[in-house]
């Protein structure tokens, strides 16, 4: 899909962009895409609603199992499960996980 040109930006109380409204057909074409910097509403909503790590939320959003994620990172499933359950994984570990998910570190560290 090419760059969006038919959209409306809604500003927040601070005068900065807060929301973007796009035609439904364009939205359908975007569904399932994860572009650098974008954090899907489903990811944010799930993170806000529970005691689940961003790593787990992203993994489940992208429909990956812990075993598949571990294979992408070159570690065991048990090792990956420990990373996902950790309160504060190391930055280098998060970078490796972000690469395995195909997202940026900033998207993962939201």
The DSSP code sequence of 75-110 is: S-HHHHHHHHH-SS--HHHHHHHHHHHTS-HHHHT-
Tell me, yes or no, whether 25 and 43 share the same domain.
no
Please tell me whether the overall predicted TM-score, pTM, comes out greater than 0.75 for this model. no
Rounded to whole angstroms, the Cα distance separating 8 from 101 reads 30
What is the rounded radius of gyration, in angstroms, for the C-alpha atoms of the chain? Answer: 16
Strand partners, 19: 10
Tell me, yes or no, whether 63 and 26 share the same domain.
no
Tell me, yes or no, whether 85 and 46 share the same domain.
yes
Residues of the chain with pLDDT under 70: 1-5, 27-36, 110
Tell me, yes or no, whether 60 and 91 share the same domain.
yes
Tell me, yes or no, whether 17 and 57 share the same domain.
no
Considering its fold, how many domains does the chain have in total?
A: 2
> pLDDT value at position 81?
97
Tell me, yes or no, whether 47 and 70 share the same domain.
yes
Domain boundaries, position 52: 37-108
Tell me, yes or no, whether 47 and 5 share the same domain.
no
């Amino acid at each position: 899909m090419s760059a969006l040109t038919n959209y409306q930006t809604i500003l927040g109380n601070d005068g900065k962009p807060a929301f973007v409204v796009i035609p439904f057909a364009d939205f359908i074409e975007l569904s399932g895409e994860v572009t650098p910097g974008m954090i899907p509403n489903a990811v944010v909503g799930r993170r806000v609603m529970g005691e689940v790590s961003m790593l787990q939320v992203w993994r489940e959003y992208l429909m990956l199992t812990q075993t598949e994620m571990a294979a992408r990172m070159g570690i065991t499933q048990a090792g990956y499960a420990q990373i996902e359950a950790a309160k504060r994984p190391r930055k280098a570990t998060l970078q490796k996980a972000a690469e395995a998910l195909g997202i940026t570190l900033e998207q993962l560290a939201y």
